[in-house]
């Protein structure tokens, strides 16, 4: 399945006011897409939409809590009223809570599941009702936590496991009915966003993300790639993929990493804003956070999975160049290489 070029698409981004969502908004605007921005922080969305319009783009914004089905339906209705419909719907809204499961109040658990899981369900089912008539892409942003557990972010991992199960089931049902809708699950590793600063925090330290950490533009690029060239799953960050593979190979050994994983989620300083944005919007409008450790510049693994044919051809080209250079060596030089190789084997 292949979809319209981005410059011809209307894209809905639910969770557009910070982090990955805001990075995706800006990249999509650069590539000519018309945009529908949705989140709880209306003032931030209005500023972003106005900036896009001032640069010659098209964008509207909708204040919405994705945990409420009626709010999500309002996003779709306004997209249809403004642009006649939409081609891609991205569910990226998400929050987290740091702390031991037994110390987190029920209302925090409930609110996190309402946003991360029900927000994805509400957005997906609403989007598909429109897309099954005209075709398009549904893109759900999960996490490596779809496949891994993280102590002290237990309900976050729970919600992302559930997002994976829901997304996979919905994809299968759409295939069974022959609907012209692609469904992609994006699985980012640790990404340099304000997620820790906006989290509800029950730890005695400021929260952080375990390394390696990747820039949000890598996730935005994967999302927009899937809007045109659908893929079933996309891991963003080779480090995350390695952890998932290791856990599948030796789950017991992964469990024993719990103390190290907990330590890696704590910074040295005391908590700054432990209330976070779980129950009310705050600290929106920023794409990146302030991690105390190095952030990778890119993910070669992810770029390769997005363009596997080009990557393979590139490797073949390198091999051909190396072979040609080797053939240009004189017979004497090649004879000397063979003698050195033979001598090395005898040692």
Residues labelled as active-site residues: 156
d(CA 71, CA 62): 9
CB atoms closer than 10 angstroms to residue 275: 13
Residue 266 DSSP label: B
Cis peptide before 212 (omega within 30 of 0): yes
Measure the CA–CA gap between 325 and 183, rounded to whole angstroms: 45
- Residue 18: Cβ within 10 Å count: 28
Non-local (6+) Cβ contacts of 192 within 8 A are 209, 213, 214, 215, 216, 288, 289, 291, 295
Residues ≥6 apart with Cβ < 8 Å to 187: 142, 143, 144, 146, 147, 233, 234, 235, 236, 240
Q: Judge whether 36 and 11 are in contact, CB under 8 Å.
A: yes
Mention every residue, 6+ apart, whose C-beta is less than 8 A from residue 218.
188, 191, 236, 237, 298, 299, 302
Alpha helices (H) along the chain = 19-30, 42-54, 69-83, 106-113, 119-134, 154-177, 216-228, 238-249, 251-255, 258-264, 300-306, 308-327, 331-346
> What is the tally of helices (H) and strands (E) in the chain?
13, 11
Q: Rounded to an integer, what distance in angstroms lies between the CA atom of residue 259 and that of residue 266?
A: 11
Tallying the residues shown for the chain, one arrives at 347
CB 91 within 8 A of CB 139: yes
């Amino acid at each position: 399945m292949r979809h319209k070029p981005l410059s011809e698409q209307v894209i809905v981004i639910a969770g557009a006011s910070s982090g990955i969502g805001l990075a995706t908004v800006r990249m999509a605007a650069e590539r000519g897409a018309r945009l529908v921005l949705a989140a709880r922080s209306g003032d931030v969305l209005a500023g972003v939409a106005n900036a896009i319009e001032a640069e010659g783009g098209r964008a509207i914004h909708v204040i919405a809590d994705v945990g409420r089905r009626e709010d999500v339906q309002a996003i779709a209705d306004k997209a249809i009223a403004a642009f006649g419909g939409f081609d891609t719907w991205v569910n990226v809204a998400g929050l987290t809570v740091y702390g031991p499961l037994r110390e987190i109040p029920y209302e925090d658990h409930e609110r996190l599941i309402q946003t991360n899981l029900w927000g994805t369900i509400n957005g997906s089912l609403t989007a598909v009702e429109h897309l099954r008539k005209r075709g398009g892409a549904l893109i759900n942003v999960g996490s490596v936590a779809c496949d891994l557990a993280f102590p002290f972010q237990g309900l976050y991992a729970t919600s992302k496991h559930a997002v994976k199960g829901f997304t996979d089931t919905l994809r299968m049902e759409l295939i069974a009915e022959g609907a012209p809708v692609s469904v992609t699950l994006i699985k980012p590793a640790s990404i340099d966003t304000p997620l820790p600063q906006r989290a509800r925090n029950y730890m005695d330290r400021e929260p952080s993300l375990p390394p390696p950490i990747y820039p949000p533009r890598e996730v935005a690029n994967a999302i927009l790639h899937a809007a045109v060239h659908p893929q079933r799953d996309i891991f963003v960050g080779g480090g995350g993929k390695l952890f998932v593979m290791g856990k599948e190979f030796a789950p017991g050994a992964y469990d024993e990493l719990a103390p190290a994983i907990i330590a890696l989620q704590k910074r040295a300083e005391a908590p700054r804003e432990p209330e976070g944005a779980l129950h009310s919007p705050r600290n929106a409008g920023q794409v990146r956070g302030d991690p105390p450790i190095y952030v990778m510049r890119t993910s070669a693994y992810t770029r390769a999975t997005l363009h596997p044919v080009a990557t393979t051809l590139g490797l073949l080209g390198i091999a051909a160049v190396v072979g040609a250079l080797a053939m240009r060596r004189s017979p004497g030089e090649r004879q000397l290489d063979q003698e050195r190789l033979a001598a090395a084997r005898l040692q």
